[in-house]
Structure formats: structure tokens, C-alpha cells
Chain A
Amino acid sequence: MPAPHGGKLIYRVNRNKDIDDMDSIEISKELAHDIENIAFGVFSPLEGFLCREDFEHVLHHMRLQNDLPWTIPIVFDLEGNEFKEGDEVLLKAENGMLATFAIEEIYDYNKKEYAEKVFKTTDIQHPGVKKVMDMKNKLAGGKIELVKEGRENFEKYYLKPYETRILFKEKGWREIVAFQTRNVPHLGHEYVQKTALTFVDGIFINPIIGKKKKGDFKDEVILKAYDALIQHYYLKDRAVLAILRTEMRYAGPREAIFHAIVRKNFGCTHFIVGRDHAGVGNYYGPYEAQEIFREFPDLGITPIFFKSFFYCKKCGGVVNEKICPHDKEHHIYYSGTAIRKMIQNGEIPPETMMRKEVAEIVMSYENPFVE
């Protein structure tokens, strides 16, 4: 099993910390998720929010200042006059999460540069850019300590890296492939997963649960759909389904690297990267998220690249362009947009696209999409 990113699994939890006299600030659920991810080592080696030098290194070099690959800034924004450097403050979220934040540094940043570097665009239509432009004008860096976890849905699917590492060991898995998703599974996803699984010991299916854009599938629908797929079409001893609580950034190639690092921390050895990973609109090339891995020979997790799978009527099964000799007229493509449209129109996706059991789950919801 690979060592966590940076060599050590971070654990920054102190349930007995005295917080009685601390000044406090309310934070968003998304920030609370980042804090729990830092505290439980999902974002190892981070021990808190990025200070200026790390932030600038991440923007310009896609690495922390110690040269470790890191592509997405994990930052805390503030107006700047609430606290000062050296303060230790209590962070409170609506879900009940409590954490302390030792503010080491408060610094200015350039939102346009942030957007341009991370999202490769400053177009405000891009959801990631919009979020950055709406952020407060300063950033604060420093270490956090989790005092109390927030209450959230889907608790039974929530595993921390120290738990998955023990789970994989107990299952006798040495090589584990991770699959990141924010969709209900169609046959193309299943074949990608099973093709990868053929060469390793187990698959870790790890849907992102959290803030998504309008039109994405609701979290509950994704989980129920995967439960149905695994129950009917996977060997129980070869697949683990657990969630990752973080928001989608839609940063395409940079986010693919970030997603791979996170799965390395969970103990995975391989990471599946498909077409337009973490993309949105037409901001990134279809395989840009695969190409970026060439720049990271020291990632510590092996990417597995796939082109799209499709159904070929002549082959009579799910294939890809490397193994199917037939013309496009025989192919049915698994377009997420087309499947969404079908579901919106009340049409059940055919079995050449989606397993019956999965389609039944999706169709059982009046509206399976984020509004």
C-alpha cells in the first residue's frame, strides 16, 4: 500500500481542546468539509489552510513549496479585519462542526490570477471562477484542529483514510484502483471499472458528495444507484463504495491530479482517469486531464487512462475504439447529457446504456437532479 502523500497520514483531531474563551466565526459547509478532510488526512500532507508561499507555489508550479505535487489551493478567505496573525479562533459550521484555526498569516491574492491558473479561464460562467470571484479579498493560512465533527447524511458510507487503509489490508488487497464519480453509473462506467479491476485486487468507488452544479445527479440518487449496481453486478469482496465529502471544483486537469492524490491517501495504488475528468462546458480538451499526469512522475499513484466505452450493435456488447473494428453507425454512445435528457423526458434508458436495476432507482425519483 502506498504511503500517504508526503509520507505521513495527517491526523489533526483534538476533541478535548479548550475552546471556551475563543472568538468564533461561522463558516460554510464546504469549508467545514475541507477542515474535516485536512483533519482526517484526506488532504495529507496539509495540516491547515495554505499560507502565502504554498499558495503561490500551487498556483504557479502545481506543487507545495517542498516540491510535493499539489494542484488545488485549499484556502480560507476573509475580509482581513476580523482577526490578526497569531490569533487562534474557533470555526463553527451549521452542521455542528467545530475546529480551531491558528492564523499564521493573512495575505492578499489576485483573484483573476487564481482563476486563470487553476481553471485556465477567467470566464465568470465557469462555476469555479464564479466561486473565486465571490470570495472575500484576503486569505488566511495556518493549522487547524478538529474539535467536533459535523452531522451529515450518508454516515454509513463515510470512511476516513485510516479506516480504508485497514479495510484494504483486511481484505488482502495490495493493489487498489480508485474510481471518482459524480454520476449515476451507465454501462460505460461499469466497463471502465471492471476493465481496471481485472488487473488489480479491488476497486474503491468513491463518489463526491457535496456542492455540485445544477443538473448534476443528487447525492442520494448516485449512492442508491451504485448500491444497486454493486449488489447485482459486482463481487462483494472486490468492490468498496464510500463517499468523499468535498465540493466539485470543475478544474479539469488540475482537479484530476488533486483527486488522484486524495485517493492515494485513502490507500489506493491506481486511479482511473476518463474523458474530460472534472470538466465543465468546453473549458478543457477531452483528454487534457490525462495529459497533465505526464508532468508528475512523482505522484505516487498510477493513473489508468481510458477513452470512452460505447455499445456496438455489431459486436453485441460494450467496447471501445481500440477493440471494435466497426463503423460509428453501429455504435451507441454513453453521453451523460443524452442520458440526462432521456430521464428528464421520463424515458427509461435502454439496457444497452444502463442496467435495469440502476435505471429503476433513477426513475423512482420525481427529480433526480440538483436544482
Chain B
Amino acid sequence: MAEEKEEKGKYTTVSIPTPLAEKIKKRIEGTGFNSISSYVTYVLRELLASMEEEEKEEVFSKEDEEKIKERLRALGYLD
């Protein structure tokens, strides 16, 4: 019981329109998704990940970057 409580604590409720829930219910029949929640979680994770930014340039100072390039040249990774 205690474990169940702890498990529940990691989730929250989000409301979606009933017709949408019905559509999802039909959509997930025969798939690996065992609930509307697991499907919605999957889709949201996918969506948020696709919106993640690419790495910003200029992570290093010019000086640091030049030192790194020197090491890469010394090791034969760069000409």
C-alpha cells in the first residue's frame, strides 16, 4: 500500500476532452500502450524532445577552443 501511494505521488492529472480520449482509446487498441495516460505521456515526451534546441555555438572561449584544436592536431585527429 505504501508503495502504491509513493507511486501515485509521481503522477498528476491532466484533463483532456472526452471525445479526444475516446479517439485515443480506439487508436491504442492492439498497440503496446496499455492506457490513455501512457499514450499521452509518450506523445508529450516526443513533442517536447523535438522542440529542444540544438547546442548553442560559442560554448568555449576562442582561447580554450584553440587549445583543444591544438591537442586534436597533436593527436592526429585534425590536420
Contact = CB atoms under 8 A, between A and B. Distances in A.
Interface stretch (A162-170, A175-183, A244-252): A162-170
B78 to A, nearest CB: 6
Interface in A258-307: 267, 294, 297-300
A267 B68 CA distance: 15
A170 B53 contact: no
Contacts of B56: 3
Nearest to B32: A294
A1 interface: yes
B76 to A, nearest CB: 8
A3 B54 contact: yes
Given A162-B60, A166-B68, A170-B69, A7 B52 contact: yes
Interface in B16-41: 32
How many chain A residues sit at the interface, stated as a range, is: 20 to 34
B2 interface: no
Given A163-B68, A170-B69, A3 B53 contact: yes
Given A1-B54, A3-B55, A4-B55, A166 B69 contact: yes
Interface string A10-52: 0000000000000000000000000000000000000000000
Interface in A153-169: 156, 159, 162-163, 165-167
A304 B77 CA distance: 25
Contact of B49 (A162, A170, A171, A299): A299
B16 to A, nearest CB: 19
A165 B32 contact: no
B46 A170 contact: no
Contact of B48 (A162, A298, A299): A298
A155 to B, nearest CB: 9
Contact of B78 (A7, A170, A298): A170
Contact of A170 (B52, B60, B72, B75): B72
Instruction: Describe B's contact surface by its main secondary structure.
Output: loop
Contact of B72 (A2, A163, A298, A299): A163
A90 interface: no
Given A162-B68, A170-B72, A300 B52 contact: yes
Interface string A40-67: 0000000000000000000001000001
B60 A166 contact: yes
A4 B56 CA distance: 11
Contacts of A294: 32
A257 interface: no
A102 interface: no
- Give the one of B52, B56, B68, B77 with max A CB within 10 A: B77
A4 B43 CA distance: 22
Nearest to B3: A60
Contacts of B68: 162-163, 166
Interface of B: 10, 32, 42-43, 45-46, 48-49, 52-56, 59-60, 65, 68-69, 71-72, 75-78
15 contacts: A1-B54, A2-B54, A156-B75, A156-B76, A162-B68, A163-B68, A165-B59, A170-B69, A170-B78, A171-B78, A267-B55, A297-B43, A298-B46, A300-B49, A300-B52
Interface of A: 1-4, 7, 9, 61, 67, 156, 159, 162-163, 165-167, 170-171, 240, 267, 294, 297-300
Given A1-B54, A67-B45, 12 more contacts: A2-B55, A3-B54, A3-B56, A159-B72, A162-B59, A163-B71, A166-B69, A167-B77, A170-B69, A297-B42, A298-B45, A298-B49
